[in-house]
Every structure is written in structure tokens, then in C-alpha cells.
Amino acid sequence: MINKKSIWFLTLFSLILVLSVYYITMPSELLLNTNANYTEKENNSPETTITESTILVALRVEAEEELLKEMENLQLILNSSEATIDEKNEAFDKMKELNITKGEEEKLENKIKEVYNLDSFVKIRNDQIEIVINKVENDSSLANKIMRTVQEQYEDSKYITVKFTS
């Protein structure tokens, strides 16, 4: 049986884990001068320069916000006095699953970086894996190689999509 101290410990530990993963994966570009992306025109209106890495950063931030929102909802279930033990166990298992999935996404991003020297964003949903590559040209042979590399990481077949940013 899970007591209140254990629930609080697991809640705080998972929150710290999620926040630490967020800050570790946050690119150092965001911490540097944010004015580097802006240039002044003659009429003094700022122009935003969007690069491929900015798209990947936006995808990562969106995924992190989605993950944090879901973790907060699960925390509410764990802390609720009205929730049954089965509901709390399901919420805890879901939190564990989310952390494992986040780790798998990071592992695949690192594998793509290591093998192909490409920046990427990976999102895993059930048996679907979506990969966004930071490369302008669409290269079907490269996409095929990336899909094979990712599939090698799993025993069962996955539905893998590769998109190139433009």
C-alpha cells in the first residue's frame, strides 16, 4: 500500500526529473543573447530570422509543454484523496511510461546525430515514430536509412515517418 510520504516523494521526484530533463535538453542558443535573431531595417521595424534549428526548438518546446501538462494532470490524480488506488496506480504507471518514452526519444535523437550528423526531433506516440530532420533537401535514400536505423532499435515493427524541414 502506498502511503502519503511515498506519493509526495514520487511526485516531487518525477517533477524534478522532468524539469531537469527540460533544462538539460534546452539548447544553449536560448540562453545566449536573444537579440541575435533580430535585425534592424531602415524603418526600425524588427525582422525575425527563422532558421531550421528554430523549428526544432519550437517542436521541442511544444512537446515539453504537452508533457508537463499531462504530468500535472497525473500529479493531480496521485494527490487526489477522492481517487481510488487503482486510478493512482494507473496514473503512476502512465508517468513512468511518459518518462521512458521521453528517454527513448532522446536516445533516437542522439543516435541520428551520431550516425548521420543531423539535428533532429523525435516524437513517439504508441507504435508511431515521427522524425523531423534539420535539412532542407528531401532525400528519400537518407530517409530510408534513418527509418532502418530507428527500426533496428525495436523488436516489433513501428510506423516511422521522416520529414525534412525547409
Look at residue 141 and tell me whether its pLDDT is greater than 50.
yes
Please, which pLDDT band fits residue 40 given cuts at 50, 70 and 90? very low
pLDDT value at position 22? Answer: 77
- The C-alpha cell 500500500 sits at 1
**CATH, domain range 4-20+48-164:** 1.10.287.4300
Domain boundaries along the sequence of the chain? 4-20+48-164
Average pLDDT over residues 22-31: 67
Q: Using CA atoms, how far apart are residues 5 and 3, in angstroms rounded to an integer?
A: 6
Burial of 81 from C-beta contacts in 10 A (0-12 / 13-18 / 19+): exposed
Report the pLDDT averaged over residues 92-115.
92
- Position of cell 530570422? 49
Q: What are the DSSP calls for the chain, one per residue?
A: ---HHHHHHHHHHHHHHHHHHHHHHS-HHHHS-GGGGEEE-TT--EEE---HHHHHHHHHHHHHHHHHHHHHHHHHHHH-SSS-HHHHHHHHHHHHHHHHHHHHHHHHHHHHHHHH---EEEEEETTEEEEEES-SS--HHHHHHHHHHHHTT-SS--EEEEEE--
pLDDT digits (tens, 9 = 90+) for 50-97: 444 678 888 888 999 999 999 999 998 888 889 888 998 998 999 999
Which has more pLDDT, 13 or 32? 13
